[in-house]
Amino acid sequence: MSQTNTSLLDEVMQWSQETCRQELKSVLPKLTSLQHKSESWDDHIRVLKIITDMFLPHIHLSELEEECFSKILPKAVTVFESMMKEISDQVGGLSSQNTEPCALLRNILQAMMQIIDALSTCVRHVGSFNDAPDLDAIRSLPTCILKILRETFQHCKESEVVYCGRMSLVADLLQGLFKEAYSLQKGLLELLDRISLDSSASEEEVSDIVTVIHSLLDICSIISNLDIALHANTWKFLIKQSLKYQSLVEEHLHHGDISTSLCENLLASFHNCVELAEQIKHAALQEATQTPEYKLFQKTAKMCRFFANTLVHYIKEFKFFLTKYCSCFHKVYLQIISKFPPSLCAPTLTMALSEELNAAALVPMDALLLQLLPLRPFAEVVVQQELRLSPEHELPQCLLLVSVLGQLATQPEEVQQLWYTGSQFSEETPRLPLHKALFTSFRRCYSERKVPVLLPGVMMKGQAQVQVTLHHHICVQLCASVAGLPPVYFPVLERCLVDAVLQADTQTALLATDVWCFTARYGTAELCLHHVLLIAQLVKMCTTECYQLFHMGLLLKRMVFLMTQNHQMELVMHFPPSDVENLPVWRHVLVRALSQEARHRVETDIIGLTQKALTDWQNGGYKLGQMDKVNVVLLSLLVVVQGQSSPEEQCVLSATRIVTQLWLRMSSDQVEKHPVLQCTLQLLLYLSAILVKNMETQVICQALLCVDALVSQKCADQLLLAALEFLASLGKIFVPPDSQSQILPRLSSLFGVLLADRSWLLHQHALEAFSHFAEVTNHEEVISQSLCVEETKTKVVNYLSKTVNVKEDVESRLQRLKMETPEIEQHNDKLENNKENVSNKQVAEVVSDLEPCPKRARQETSAEEEYSRYIQTAESALKALQALTEGEANMKAPPQWLQSRLQELQTLITNICTARHVI
């Protein structure tokens, strides 16, 4: 700096405040020019301090920007940045032995603090005015300060890396630098909070406030790990400014950056919370709430709650600018839910820690979901057709869909349509109807269903709340949804139920069956009939023994219980049991579910059909080619026999004669060679297990001979399972003494062989069958003779005493279930791709042919409710008419015909009042 300039500065330093005020106009331009041209940091800082300390207090608010800030602040930023660069260049030589670099770095840090102090002086001066300044009057101030704050906080954040383990040499100055920057930011934010922009704000002012918001967002990303309070306060101000000037800035804000940063901060604080909670639990510190660890957990939980609530609030105000980021919100929801029970990867925490974590993160998720529900892009993300998630997010996704289902009842019609119907047109992003998406999601929760995970059940009056399985929880929520579902969405629901029952996963089909039965029971009797006819037609279409037949048959069996007597007879008339082609329907109906009239008709027709088939087979010379027809009717006969409670009933006696005729024609040699006879034998064994008390000893001997021959030849498993059921039933009878030598030794031998079988399935069923036999038999010698082998005896004793030999630990079981999942999915996919299944096209044809009856409320409205509804309608209409006439009185006269119509209404009201019901 020249001698002249130095003299000027020395002279000015001696001036009083009054002299500075008087000489302001002449000296300030020289000082600002001098500051701009200064080459050394010391000269710059000296000039800057003179301007801010001595002349700034005398500059009028309206002149601050043009005469001072726009000229000195950009230079201050440039100098500050050059100091930062110099530190980076010099820090390599920093050491306790090398004093010169250490002194240099300390001087630079002190100079940086002086610049920040000068900026703080500027902020305090502007804030000293009674009236809040216009943003135009100080526009350089926030911009330049935020740049310096960013550089400062970034340097503090990276200090450990920058100073390479030698930070202790400058730690005191770094701490002071951070405090000065902290104070400067606090003052700046307080100043900006006083400023207000209205709808007439200029583009430059709007641009400035947008720049401030984005600069603060940038600072937030830096200070997230520096200071919790600073981080929270910066975010609060950022959001506050965004909402304060919402109408001005909403089209200019980087909504994606803001919302994404909120999500990242929420997840970071949440995961830190979870880790701290686990550490506290493992260290057994949960009782010591005054420990540093517990206090840090509480602070982190508070930040987590802050970010969660802030995200919800931001989405609420700017949701239509955030549609591109719904995928991010969806992931946040899943990641948070995955860390809470009943998720398998959720940590086990104490009650106190869990409650704080719930309040911090789980509770706000419901509010978050409520804000996202109306957004089509969110629905497209959540219920997209090809949604693939990591295994730990499958259960959270399922629970998310359940939450959506629970909140839809209070949503507007357009939101309900968005979720309930799925995509309607080819140009839309494909999305599933909500109910179908929920069934699909439940299907993928294989491990959670097997464990099983437990959730809080519905509170019942007078009963404590209990934990229920995932199946139970979802079933209750689905049924509640059906109860409040608008009728317009019933066709979509019905199609979802059909699809769910016809898919391969049995437990998912059972869930759909439960919901379908509730739907039929909650609705009208006509609706139940419609559903039963639809199901029966689908059952009839299953020409092979496919999984679809099993699922639909189970549904049909349950639905018949819900039908009225007249409708059961209508089902009989629609699918008469006297026709062989309808037998696949009746083999899935429990006859005890039918009314007496319908039951008698079904039993009579099926027994008659069976007897006719057997007679035709006998008259035809007992040909093997006719056995398929015999097997068809035997399967239906089994259904009839299973429904009988008394062995003396006529149909039982008729069935016994039929079974006896067939047993006397069975030959073990032929059964082994011909699969069709194996099917016959299997049915005979199941029938005989029920009819055993009515069978003659000779027939039982013949049956045991066939079973003995087949067991020795290692026949198919399903045949052996039928044999075990027959053997277990023999405990119900007493074998006459003259036949005991033929039956009892063979019975003991068969039990001995089957109990020793190495197949786990057969072995388990053999244990069950033997225990049932042993419980009721009078021939105790069979029990002892069946257990001659010590190993078999030990297994039976362990089974009866419910001894578990090997107990699988929790972790091993979870790993096994995770390994099983892809195998199960592959098996189900193989089943569903079988060409012999009922096709979607066939299902669609059946559904379209059986058009459902119109839906109506289950309970009829009472007469009093009807009177109330109509009188409210009339009252509302008359008040509206009154308001219209009074409003038009000041404008023009009402139409001429109004008077006559009102007189007619008066007459009508008089007639109603004089009616006998009103009197």
Give the mean model confidence (pLDDT) for residues 726-750.
Answer: 92
Give the mean model confidence (pLDDT) for residues 774-795.
Answer: 91
Integer CA distances (angstroms), 405 to 68, 245, 429, 583, in order: 61, 36, 21, 39
Question: Nearest 5°: CA angle at 786, between 780 and 787?
Answer: 100
Q: Among 268-282, 412-426, 526-540, 805-819, which is the least confidently predicted range?
A: 805-819
Nearest to 223 by CA among 160, 272, 265: 265
pLDDT at 51 over 70: yes
Question: Average pLDDT, whole number, for the chain?
Answer: 88
**H-helix or E-strand containing 455?**
strand 454-456
Tokens of 753: 């062989």
Q: Which residue has the tokens 């995961």?
A: 271
Give the amino acid at 880: A
Which residues lie closer than 8 Å to 836 by C-beta, 6 or more apart? 543, 544, 546
pLDDT at 88: 86
Which residues lie closer than 8 Å to 327 by C-beta, 6 or more apart? 381
pLDDT at 895: 78
Strands (DSSP E) found in 728-827: none
Question: Band of the pLDDT at 859, cuts 50, 70, 90?
Answer: very low
Question: Band of the pLDDT at 858, cuts 50, 70, 90?
Answer: very low
Q: What is the pLDDT of residues 139-175, one digit of tens each?
A: 999 999 999 999 999 999 988 888 887 788 889 999 9
Nearest to 125 by CA among 117, 77, 238: 117
pLDDT at 287: 57
pLDDT at 802: 84
SS3 454: strand
pLDDT at 245: 95
pLDDT at 332: 97
Question: Band of the pLDDT at 839, cuts 50, 70, 90?
Answer: low
Nearest to 658 by CA among 636, 625, 679: 636
pLDDT at 477 over 80: yes
Which residues lie closer than 8 Å to 316 by C-beta, 6 or more apart? 371
Are 149 and 73 in contact, with CB atoms under 8 Å apart? no
Q: Which tops the pLDDT comparison, 399 or 878?
A: 399
Torsion of CA 446, 449, 453, 458, to 10 degrees: 130
Give the mean model confidence (pLDDT) for residues 648-665.
Answer: 88
Question: Band of the pLDDT at 589, cuts 50, 70, 90?
Answer: very high
CA distance 718 to 885: 83
Give the mean model confidence (pLDDT) for residues 718-736.
Answer: 93
Annotated domain spans of the chain: 92-113+121-196+204-250, 524-621
Q: Among 79-88, 498-507, 771-780, 878-887, which is the least confidently predicted range?
A: 878-887
pLDDT at 880: 67
CA distance 395 to 443: 10
Burial 273-293 (b: 16+ CB within 10 A, else e): bbebbeebeeeebbeeeeeee
Question: Band of the pLDDT at 837, cuts 50, 70, 90?
Answer: confident
Sign of the Cα torsion 682, 683, 684, 685 reads positive
Give the amino acid at 526: E
pLDDT at 283: 79
Q: What is the pLDDT of residues 540-576, one digit of tens each?
A: 888 777 889 999 999 999 999 999 999 999 999 999 9
- The residues with which 431 forms a beta bridge, in sequence order, are 384
Q: Among 364-368, 375-379, 894-898, which is the least confidently predicted range?
A: 894-898
